[in-house]
Amino acid sequence: MPPVVTEPVTAAGLIPFLDALAGFSAEGPGVTRRAYDDAWCDAHAWLQRQARMLGFAATPDAAGNLLFHGLDVPPHAPALLVGSHLDSVVHGGRLDGAYGLACGFLLVAELRGAGRLPVVGFATCEEEESRFPGALMGARSLIGQAEAGELDAIADERGITWRAALEGARARGCAVAIEDDAHPFAPPFAPRATLEIHIEQGPVLEREGLALGIVEHIAGYRRMRLDVAGEARHSGTTPMRMRRDALAAAAEMVLAVEALGRDANEPAVATAGVLVPEPGLYNVVPGHCTLGVEVRHVDAARLEALAAELLARCRAIAARRRVHVESGDASGQEPTSLSPELAATALDLAQQLGVPHRRMASGAAHDTMVFARAGVPALMLFVPSRGGISHSPDESTAPDQLVAGYRFLVALARRVAERPPR
């Protein structure tokens, strides 16, 4: 029998674990771990070694998702899945994804053998779309929803396909071989329920002085790529009245997107996060500009209305400025409600344990959306984010708040493993 790891030991291990994981990053400020890149592969290998050292298994699937489980848990067994994502945004923080996966990992060490349902930790390969516009392709592959065609259809900004990048990671031991080309991603376990703990990434818990958020809804998003086409001309010789400047038009669209977000009531948000003018020279009036925009809302009808209004405003700007605009969907997620039964269990437990908490919605997207929409009872927990900051090197949460969140997760997972949702 492997030694039983006691709660204080694992909770004390949380912060050093996060410190170590944050060390796996590409150059630059904060943490950059894009799916299957060197830092990601190094972190993946480190996680596998850590699991072996603690006497449990770390099993990669065909997409490079990593599952942590007791050696006695058979493949495809029903399980309580607990974890988060391994990848990060470019120049992101050390906790987004990492916190939830560290908690899932330590939980496996702590709960092995306890409860009727085995606890399996997970680290999904890709959640952030910081490399592939894959619409939560890590979670989708983990439950067998990602399709064979996506391996060649999804590519990064350099044209490297999901398939090619994955082959590189596989060569480094971070994924197993695809056994069935028609159905490349078979779920390694049968999730009976999932839990994901995460930093809030917003200001609510800190502002209200609370330790815990019990997340009942997650906002959906629509990401669109706008191709703005004007006319490239000499910047020194083209009078201002003769210009059809694609960048100037796109700049006006950026402000229109911001105004749309401001005009709509909270929790609506609208962001232009990508702007690529071409040819990008001092002496050429920009003839083309790519603009990447997104809108988010927890309500599906409002989300659709926001997307439609955004396009209408941008088209009006294009017409007035005599440029052409083409729009295409980049990716999207439907707003998603999480398990009322698990939320009730978490609320009851928080009251019992005297943990200051609230029910809330998430403005950020998460892997949990995929599990919930697939009909798996799924819940998220939030801990406070200092200043509400995330997707930034400044992302931080006090260690005692991280540990308190972990302890609550342990208590909740114990309860769910003992009495799984129906």
- Which residues of this protein are in contact with ligand HGY, per CB under 6 A? 127-128, 364-365
Q: How far is the CB of 354 from ligand HGY (least distance, A)?
A: 31
365 binds, among Mn ion, ligand HGY, none (CB under 5 to 8 A by kind): ligand HGY
**Degrees (nearest 5) of the Cα angle 419, 420, 421?**
115
Contacts of 117 (CB under 8 A, 6+ apart): 78, 79, 80, 192, 193, 416, 417, 418, 420
**Rounded alpha-carbon distances, angstroms, from residue 118 to 109, 158, 191, 377:** 11, 41, 10, 15
Q: How far is the CB of 42 from ligand HGY (least distance, A)?
A: 22
Contacts of 317 (CB under 8 A, 6+ apart): 249, 252, 253, 256
Q: How far is the CB of 128 from ligand HGY (least distance, A)?
A: 5
Q: How far is the CB of 198 from Mn ion (least distance, A)?
A: 6
Q: How far is the CB of 6 from Mn ion (least distance, A)?
A: 29
Closest to ligand HGY by CB, 134 or 230 = 134
Closest to ligand HGY by CB, 127 or 395 = 127
Residues 295 and 184: beta-carbon distance below 8 Å = no
61 binds, among ligand HGY, Mn ion, none (CB under 5 to 8 A by kind): none
Whose CA is closest to 412, among 347, 354, 325?
347
Residue listed under structure tokens 């298994």 = 57
156 binds, among ligand HGY, Mn ion, none (CB under 5 to 8 A by kind): none
Closest to ligand HGY by CB, 162 or 221 = 221
Closest to Mn ion by CB, 32 or 245 = 32
**Rounded alpha-carbon distances, angstroms, from residue 332 to 96, 149, 153:** 20, 18, 16
Closest to ligand HGY by CB, 349 or 364 = 364
Q: How far is the CB of 206 from ligand HGY (least distance, A)?
A: 18
Burial class (CB in 10 A: 0-12, 13-18, 19+), 267: middle
Q: Which stretch binds Mn ion (CB under 5 A): 20-28, 44-52, 88-96, 258-266?
A: 88-96
Residues 106 and 338: beta-carbon distance below 8 Å = no
87 binds, among ligand HGY, Mn ion, none (CB under 5 to 8 A by kind): none
Q: How far is the CB of 413 from Mn ion (least distance, A)?
A: 19
Using the rule CB under 5 A, is 96 a contact of Mn ion? yes
260 binds, among Mn ion, ligand HGY, none (CB under 5 to 8 A by kind): none
Using the rule CB under 5 A, is 61 a contact of Mn ion? no
Closest to Mn ion by CB, 96 or 206 = 96
97 binds, among ligand HGY, Mn ion, none (CB under 5 to 8 A by kind): Mn ion
Using the rule CB under 5 A, is 30 a contact of Mn ion? no
Closest to ligand HGY by CB, 88 or 345 = 88
Closest to Mn ion by CB, 37 or 96 = 96
For 144, the 3-state DSSP assignment is coil
Among 83, 97, 286, 287, binds Mn ion (CB under 5 A): 97
Q: How far is the CB of 97 from Mn ion (least distance, A)?
A: 4
Query: For 189, phi and psi rounded to 5 degrees?
Result: -135, 160
Burial class (CB in 10 A: 0-12, 13-18, 19+), 115: middle
Burial class (CB in 10 A: 0-12, 13-18, 19+), 113: exposed
Q: Hey, what are 237's tokens? A: 């010789």
Task: Please give the Cα distance from 181 to 390 (Å, whole number).
Answer: 38
Q: How far is the CB of 365 from ligand HGY (least distance, A)?
A: 4
- Helix, strand and coil percent figures for the chain, each rounded to 5: 35, 25, 40
196 binds, among ligand HGY, Mn ion, none (CB under 5 to 8 A by kind): none
- Cβ density class 207-237: b for 16+ within 10 Å, e for less: eeebbbbbbbbbbbbbbbbbebbbbbbeeee
List interacting residues with Mn ion (CB under 5 A).
96-97
